[in-house]
C-alpha cells in the first residue's frame, strides 16, 4: 500500500516502530531543559550494542491508557514519538541508531476515555492504482461543528466520544466520524484491533477537536474493530541518555 495516502489522512503521524503508522511526529511543545526527575515513572537506558538501546521503566500510572516512548538527539528536543506502549509494557528496544550520536529518552502516560468500538469488514481487494489516483477528499482530518454538544475535561467519563460511525469508502478506505465531548485534549487517537487480535493499538494520531478522519487500511486492518480516544499526557519520567559508538562491521 502506498504510504502517501495514509500520510495525507493523518494530521500527525507516529514514528516508525508503531505498527500501522508511517512517518514520524516531532513534539511541538516547548523545549524541555534537564531538571529534577519526576516521581511517577523512572526510566533507565542501556546500550546493548554500539548502536542499539534498551529502555526499561518502572512506576505506576493509575488509570492510564498507556505510555508514549519518545527520543531526542538534542538536549532540549524536539522529541519524536517512538511507540505507544500498553499499560503493562515496561521495556522498549530502539535498534540501529545513528553512530556516535547523543540520544535522550523519556516516557509519559496518557489518559482519556475510549469510545465504544465499531466492527468493520472491508471488501476483498488490494489498494489498486486507480484507487491511489483518487483525490480522497474524504480522508483529511477535519472538524464537523455540531451545536448543543456538552463537553467535559478529558479524564472524565463524560468526555467519552459518542456516535462513532465507520463508512466504507472503497475496499481499503474507511471514513470515521464521531461526536467530540472532550475539552482540553492534546489530540485524538484512532485505535484498532485486527480480527483475532487481543488488544487495541493506535493507528493514527490526530489534532484536538478532530471528529472526521479517513483511514487507508493495511492488509490486516480490513477486518477489525475501531475506536477513538481523546487524550492528555501525564507526568513525564526522568530523561535517560546514551551516546552511541561506531557502527559494527557488517551492519549497513
Within 10 Å of residue 218's Cβ, how many Cβ atoms?
Answer: 19
pLDDT at 252: 62
Kindly state whether residues 55 and 135 are assigned to the same domain: no
* Domain contains 2: no
C-alpha–C-alpha distance, residues 92 and 69, integer Å: 8
- The pLDDT, as a whole number, for residue 132 is 79
CATH of the domain at 208: 2.60.40.10
Same domain? For 222 and 239 the reply is no
Contacts of 203 by beta carbon, 8 Å cutoff, 6+ apart: 20, 21, 190, 191, 192, 215, 221
The predicted structure's pLDDT at residue 21: 42
Based on the fold, state whether residues 158 and 96 are members of the same structural domain: no
> What is the average pLDDT across 160-175?
96
Nearest CA among 182, 148, 146, 176 for reference residue 164: 176
Averaged pLDDT for residues 148-175? 95
Q: How many residues does the chain have?
A: 252
In this structure, is residue 1 part of a structural domain?
no
Residue 4: phi and psi, rounded to 5, are: -70, -40
For the cut 50, the answer to whether the pLDDT of residue 188 exceeds it is yes
The pLDDT score that the predictor gives to residue 180 is 97
Report whether the peptide linkage leading into residue 78 is cis, meaning its omega lies within 30 degrees of zero.
yes
Residues 191 and 93 in one domain: no
Tell me whether residue 207 is in a domain. yes
Residue 162 lies inside a defined structural domain of this protein = yes
CA angle 211, 20, 31 (to 5 degrees): 70
Tell whether 161 is covered by a domain.
Answer: yes
In angstroms, the CA 21 to CA 15 distance is 7
Query: In this structure, is residue 202 part of a structural domain?
Result: yes
Q: How many domains, in total, are found in the chain?
A: 2
Does position 213 have pLDDT exceeding 70, yes or no? Answer: yes
pLDDT value for 131: 78
Same-domain check for residues 97 and 143: no
In a domain, 15, yes or no: no
Please give the residue range of the domain that contains residue 143.
Answer: 118-233
Q: Are strands 42-49 and 80-85 parallel, antiparallel or unpaired?
A: unpaired
**pLDDT, average across residues 156-163:** 97
Task: Write the pLDDT tens digit of every residue in 83-142.
Answer: 999 999 999 999 999 999 999 999 999 999 999 999 999 998 888 787 777 889 999 999
pLDDT band at residue 23 using 50, 70 and 90 as cut-offs: very low
**Same structural domain for residues 104 and 122?**
no
Q: Is the same domain home to 178 and 82?
A: no
Which of 36-40, 74-78, 155-159, 198-202 holds the top average pLDDT? Answer: 155-159
Question: 160 and 80 in one domain?
Answer: no
Amino acid at each position: 500500500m502506498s504510504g502517501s495516502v495514509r500520510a495525507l489522512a493523518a494530521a500527525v503521524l507516529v514514528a516508525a516502530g508503531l505498527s500501522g503508522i508511517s512517518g514520524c511526529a516531532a513534539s511541538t511543545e516547548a523545549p524541555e531543559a534537564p531538571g529534577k526527575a519526576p516521581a511517577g515513572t523512572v526510566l533507565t537506558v542501556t546500550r546493548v550494542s554500539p548502536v542499539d538501546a534498551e529502555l526499561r521503566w518502572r512506576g505506576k500510572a493509575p488509570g492510564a491508557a498507556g505510555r508514549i516512548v519518545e527520543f531526542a538527539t538534542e538536549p532540549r528536543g524536539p522529541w519524536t514519538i517512538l511507540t505507544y506502549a500498553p499499560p503493562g509494557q515496561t521495556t522498549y528496544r530502539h535498534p540501529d541508531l545513528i553512530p556516535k550520536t547523543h540520544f535522550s529518552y523519556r516516557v509519559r502516560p496518557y489518559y482519556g476515555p475510549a469510545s465504544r468500538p465499531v466492527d468493520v469488514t472491508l471488501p476483498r481487494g488490494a489498494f489498486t492504482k486507480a484507487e491511489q489516483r483518487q483525490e480522497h477528499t474524504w480522508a483529511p482530518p477535519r472538524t464537523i461543528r455540531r451545536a448543543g454538544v456538552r463537553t467535559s475535561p478529558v479524564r472524565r467519563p463524560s468526555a467519552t466520544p459518542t456516535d462513532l460511525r465507520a463508512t466504507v469508502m472503497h475496499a481499503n478506505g474507511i471514513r470515521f466520524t464521531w461526536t467530540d465531548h472532550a475539552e482540553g485534549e492534546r489530540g485524538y487517537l484512532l485505535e484498532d484491533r485486527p480480527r483475532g487480535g487481543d488488544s487495541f493499538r493506535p493507528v493514527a494520531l490526530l489534532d484536538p477537536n478532530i471528529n472526521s478522519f479517513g483511514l487507508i487500511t493495511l492488509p490486516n486492518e480490513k477486518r477489525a474493530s475501531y475506536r477513538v480516544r481523546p487524550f492528555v499526557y501525564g507526568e513525564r519520567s526522568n530523561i535517560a541518555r546514551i551516546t552511541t559508538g561506531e557502527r559494527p562491521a557488517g551492519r549497513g
